Chains A and B, each alone.
Chain A
Amino acid sequence: MAIISITNLKQGYGKTTVLNDINLQVAAGEILALIGPSGAGKTTLVSTIMGMLKPKEGEVIVLGQHMPRRESLAQIGYMAQSDALYDELTAQENLVFFCEMQGVNKKVQSQRIAHAAAVVNLTMDLNKRVKNYSGGMKRRLSLAIALISDPPLLILDEPTVGIDPELRQQIWHELHQMAAAGKTILLTTHVMEDAEEANQVLMIRGGEAIAQGTPAALLSQYQVTSIEQVFLQAGRDQDAHNRNR
């Protein structure tokens, strides 16, 4: 059964349309990378999957439920594109707060916090106020907050921005482990290496899905050697197509 199932989605703000005719199926245990130029509509798609925005047309089913649905958010671990943390609180207090909001059982709370902090290497800095954190530390804390409820679905909006290569590897190791345990992960990224780690890649450009498939399938389809080249080629094809119309 698909964890995320999107059919004929049209989405936008007010009268402007941002996404058109998006179809997507993500199965349990899959890692989906969403790539596309800035302003393509990646965050908009993510918000729609979370149910923060109502679909204009089409339907979005997440974990077997039509979105938007507030209760479903308990099963989604979310990392926003911009860090949204309480600066006056310590990292530990931020984590506890989001445990409470996410509805994490009090008994497992401290163990979850310890695990999430370890994944992002923040164990030693948990008692620092967030306002004294560096940019990368804040990013890592945001990721830890997404992991805190050990959810079946993780939605990460540009999780690797500002994270050093060593830590990036460590995080990917953790994500693969989670996927192996049956968790579904959706992430947006501008880093092609991240896309190559995923099971499935969805490219959005100008509000349309221009390429979709496993990294290997995309490489052979476009007869190129890197995802970056796929991305560039698919973009050129789209432009040519639009000119001919």
Chain B
Amino acid sequence: MRTIGIVKRVFKEMLRDKRTLVLMFIGPLFILSLVFFLFQNTSQTKTTLVVRQVDSELVTALKNDHLRVKSIHDQRAATTIIRQHDYAGLLTQKGDQLKLVLANSDQSKSTVIKQSIQQAQVKLKTQAAAATLKSEAATIKKLAAALAALTKSTTFAGHSGKATVASAKNYQLKTKYLYGSQDSTYFDTLLPILMGFIVFFFVFLISGIALLRERTAGTLYRLLATPIKRSEIIAGYLLGYGAFAIVQTLMVVIFTIYVFNIQIIGNIGLVILINLLMAAVALAIGLFISTFANSEFQMMQFIPIVAIPQIFFSGIIALDTMPNWLQVIAHLMPLYYGANSMTAVIEKGATFSTIAPNLGVLAVMTIIFLILNNQTLKRYRQV
């Protein structure tokens, strides 16, 4: 079958083109790692937490290398204070109730504050436990002394040794965020979007340039001078470059899970499926766009038009904050569907039926572009 012939040829060409291979397989991992370190490494972050009417033991326990604690008596609303002074967070106390308000505009700072509060509570609890142990030890000593006395004299003193249990307050923490939510460490928010985008971008670029080269070298025309069907060429490209896209996708997914230790709440199979659909759309669009470029340089010029805008419509900026016409545009972007599904699966454990509509849209987009490709090939051979 001719399609197989094309697939074999694509494999040979790709495997011999070491630079493209590296770009396709190492590139995504490199970008992901960069972003990971950019947003994960909080060890350098130093921030200030403002406290109001908080137990002094807790305040002492809160202090650490990354957190300065500052007490205030300002009685206005927490949000007002944070906005006015640009604090990272404000902690207030009423009885055992702790209320934490986080600005959350810099999520690494929020992380530091949350971790510090947790650590402080653990610290207080261990101190309390230690105190309890101490007092219990004292009681046991007393009892032992009484027992000794009992064996000496015959009178039983009858001692009630009640240990005083030092109990740590069990603080109830309530957290409020000015921006975003509790789930957002920035990398977590970015990862699903980034994964979809990276797969889209590399497949788009590599398949587009491959077909472009074939066109400018004249081999596409020569190929069409054989009895091959136009659809067989498209299928050959889809399968050939698709196989590389699959490998790339698997590498990205495995890397994210095992190297970044990202917890995927939903099914990994779904994550892979979404990525594969993203690769298919990218392939179809890449092939299509390449017909409008006459050189690799011109192909590059399509990146800011086709690839970059998708990032902004992928969920990084909440869709409901956009004007209506922009929302319409968002619904034309493959990455919108891909990233939404990915976020749903990775962070909320969405099932297949939940993301099926999104996947359906991606599949339809792929088919539309494949048909368009089939039509544009008519430029070279009219049957």
Q: Interface on A for B, CB 8 Å cutoff?
A: 50-54, 68-74, 76, 78, 80, 82-89, 93, 97-98, 100-103
Contacts and interface: CB of A to CB of B under 8 A. Distances in A.
B348 interface: no
A51 B5 contact: no
A50 B222 CA distance: 11
B383 A70 contact: yes
Given A52-B380, A52-B382, A101-B226, A84 B219 contact: yes
Nearest to A71: B227
Contacts of B4: 100
Given A88-B16, A89-B12, A73 B382 contact: no
B231 to A, nearest CB: 11
Given A76-B225, A101-B226, 8 more contacts: A70-B227, A83-B218, A84-B221, A85-B217, A86-B13, A93-B12, A101-B2, A101-B227
Interface residues of B, number: 25
B13 A51 contact: no
B382 A102 contact: no
B381 interface: yes
A159 B80 CA distance: 83
18 contacts: A51-B381, A51-B382, A52-B221, A68-B381, A68-B383, A73-B225, A80-B218, A80-B225, A84-B219, A85-B217, A86-B9, A88-B12, A89-B12, A97-B5, A100-B5, A101-B226, A101-B228, A103-B227
A51 B383 contact: yes
A101 B224 CA distance: 9
Interface centre among B16, B17, B219, B224 (most CB of A within 10 A): B219
Nearest to A87: B217
Closest 5 pairs between A and B when the two form their complex, measured CB to CB: A84-B222, A100-B5, A84-B218, A101-B226, A74-B227
A54 B383 CA distance: 9
A98 B12 contact: no
A98 B219 contact: no
Contacts of A70: 227, 229, 381, 383
A101 B229 CA distance: 10
A86 B219 contact: yes
B197 to A, nearest CB: 29
Contacts of A69: 383
